[in-house]
Amino acid sequence: MPRFVLLAFVAGFLAVLCFHQPAVGLLHAYGVIPFAPYATAPVAPLGVPQWFSASFWGGVWGVVMLGLFARLGVDRGLWWKSGLFGGVVLTLVALLVVFPLKGRGFNPAVFPIGFVVNGAWGLGMWVFTRCLIARRGAPHP
């Protein structure tokens, strides 16, 4: 179980760097969003760069997602279920919990952007899960 958690965390961490942030970059390049990916501005309370903080939380969500999938016995259609999990669950948590905690309030107009970016993370989770967990013989959903 500890190995599964570590590999799920790594998959989520890498999914932010290789899928989530490139999706942010594409949206920024096409003028959909004003901010660029891989921000290096420090994030409170530890002062780590924004990209590292996002990657850390991507790892945490990776453990949550794969744990939930394993508990529910999800074993078919993982690529689209991973994308849907990222797009819906992560975006709703951001809108309903994270943004209000940061003083940004609730803004449902950003849901489509969050869905695309977080859905890309979910697809990245599926890719890295297949690469890291399935190839190592660890139990996976």
pLDDT digits (tens, 9 = 90+) for 46-59: 889 999 999 999 99
60 vs 53: CA distance, rounded Å: 11
Q: Of residues 16 and 45, which shows the higher confidence score?
A: 16
Give the pLDDT confidence score for residue 136 in this predicted structure.
56
Give the pLDDT confidence score for residue 134 in this predicted structure.
63
How would you write 17-78 as a 3-class SS string? HHHHHHHHHHHHHCCCCCCCCCCCCEECCCCEEHHHHHHHHHHHHHHHHHHHHHHHCCCCCH
Domain range summary for the chain, segments of one domain joined by +: 2-136
Res. 90: pLDDT tops 90: yes
